[in-house]
Every structure is written in structure tokens, then in C-alpha cells.
Amino acid sequence: MTVILRIKRKEFEAIKNGTKKTEWRRPSLYNKRILLSKNSEGKFCENKELKEVTFINGYSADSQKITIEVELIRPVKFSSNIEIKEDLFIAMAGECSIQIKLGKIIK
């Protein structure tokens, strides 16, 4: 299973260069539906079926694309403030996010 996500140029280049190892997404209903699974209780949880993500920089037909292997995708709630410079990510205590741990470049 593959998902397509739009991404800004700075993040796209960091993934392409191998410095950004994790993509973080807002836990909007749309992101939850396409990125996470539901458990037997109907709660969103880790998705073990999503194997790759294609990131697209922009909206034009000739936008740059990169497909990356997914190692892990799960919802995360932060117990303290966090800043991950290499992932260009900041979150405050109590916030939630969707973590996509990136593997190797497929194409």
C-alpha cells in the first residue's frame, strides 16, 4: 500500500539528502484516515500495512517526487516539549502528531 503526501521544498530536500529520517504530520481526520489503522475498539493506531510513501513537492504535473520505504507509522502524544532539528520538527507537551519513520529511497 502506498500513500501520496505533499511536502514543502525544504523538507523534500532534507528527505532526499537523507538528513530527515522522520516525517511528522498533524493528526487531522484526513491524515488519520490515510495514514493510520483502527484497532478493534475503533481507535486510530499504528499502521503495519503502509509500506511506502510518495512525497511530492508542489502541485504541478512536473513536481518532483520521491518514494520512500516506511519503517514505522504511528500516533504519538508528547509528554514534554520536543525539538528535532534534523526533522525540522517542534512540538509542545500534550500535543499529538503522526510519526512516519522513513527508510531507504525506493525511487
- Name the one residue in this structure whose C-alpha cell is 529511497: 105
For 60-90, what is each residue's pLDDT tens digit? 889 999 999 999 999 999 999 999 988 889 9
Cβ atoms < 10 Å from Cβ of 61: 5
User: What value does the mean pLDDT of the chain take?
Assistant: 93
Residue 1 has pLDDT above 80, yes or no: no
Distance of alpha carbon 2 from alpha carbon 68, whole angstroms: 10
pLDDT of residue 2: 81
Contact assessment for residue 46 and residue 73, using Cβ atoms and an 8 Å cutoff: yes
Q: What region, left, alpha or beta, does residue 86 occupy, with left being phi > 0 and alpha being psi -120 to 50 degrees?
A: alpha
Radius of gyration of the chain from its Cα atoms, rounded to whole angstroms: 14
Q: CATH assignment of 2-105? A: 2.30.130
Q: How do the domains of the chain map onto residue ranges?
A: 2-105
SS (H, E, C) 7-45: CCHHHHHHHHHCCCCEEEECCCHHHHHHHCEECCCCCEE
For 36-60, what is each residue's pLDDT tens digit? 999 999 999 999 999 999 999 988 8
pLDDT of residue 30: 94
